[in-house]
Amino acid sequence: MTDRTDLELTGETVGDEGWEMTPAEVRQRLTEVEGAMHADFERFAADLRNDFERLAAAVTPLLTRQFSETQARMRALETRFRNRQERPLIVLLANLLSDVRRLRSGEDIREHVEQTLSEALVRAGYQEMGSPGDQFDPAWHEPMSGSVGRAGVVTRVHSRGLVCYGDVIIKAKVDVEPAPEAATEQGEALT
């Protein structure tokens, strides 16, 4: 059996009564259907909003606790990772201390300690820099005496600098004098 809605859509008529509608009646009927659909949509949206708020209220404390626990685990893992990175250096220093206590000659101790520490720095990615004869560079050198900018030459190294992958960690402490060419050019300019 067909109902009235099916007949309205197909445009069929039933019996003598018929289901003919005027355009105004069709518009009126569409407005009613749209209003009913809009009301249903608003009701469903309100129900969804309420369900979401209830779910958020239940889940938020769980997520907050889980986030805090994850942060604590990450801090613990970062500490363990850092300790693993430092362990070879600590072992090397402990072995060096043992060797220093065992060695008898002062010169042997100095050479052994210097060599061992230098190897440890290289293994960790660090490199010493600063030697007599180097071109003075204010980014790499700290002048202890003399200062001629970039035209100078390092004449004496008080303490070597330290570089790690191009980043200056410690500037080399150096004495600086004018480069031989720069000194000659300055002398010629004065005469």
Kindly report, residue by residue over 143-171, the tens digit of the pLDDT. 888 767 667 899 999 988 888 877 888 88
Q: How far apart are CA 36 and CA 42, in angstroms?
A: 10
Which pLDDT does position 191 carry in this prediction?
46
- The pLDDT score that the predictor gives to residue 8 is 53
Rounded Cα gap, residues 158 and 109, in angstroms = 21
Check residue 138 and give its pLDDT.
87
The pLDDT of residue 92: 74
Q: 126-129 and 167-170 as β-strands: parallel, antiparallel, unpaired?
A: unpaired
Categorize the per-residue pLDDT at 30 as very low, low, confident or very high, splitting at 50, 70 and 90. Answer: very high
In this structure, what are the phi and psi dihedrals at residue 26, rounded to the nearest 5 degrees?
A: -65, -45
Confidence of residue 35 (pLDDT cuts 50, 70, 90): very high
Residues 177-186 have a mean pLDDT of 64
Confidence (pLDDT) at 1: 46
Per-residue pLDDT, averaged over 17-42, amounts to 87
CA dist 164 and 173 (Å) reads 17
| Residue 188 amino acid letter | E
Residue with tokens 């980043």: 167
Q: For the whole model, what pTM was predicted?
A: 0.44
pLDDT at 48: 94
Residue bearing the bigger pLDDT, 53 or 150 = 53
Q: How far apart are the first and last CA of the chain?
A: 122
Quote the CA–CA distance of 137 and 144 in Å, as a whole number. Answer: 13
Residue 16 has what pLDDT?
Answer: 45
The backbone torsions φ and ψ at residue 154, rounded to the nearest 5 degrees and listed phi first, read: -75, 125
More confident residue, 80 or 128: 128
**Res. 181: pLDDT tops 80:** no
| pLDDT of amino acid 90 | 66
Q: Who wins on pLDDT, 191 or 70?
A: 70
- The mean pLDDT of 106-127, rounded to a whole number, is 80
Q: Which residues pair with 156 in a beta bridge?
A: 175
pLDDT computed for residue 149 by the predictor: 64
The chain-wide mean pLDDT, for the chain, equals 79
The strand ranges marked E within 5-164 are: 126-129, 141-145, 152-159, 161-164
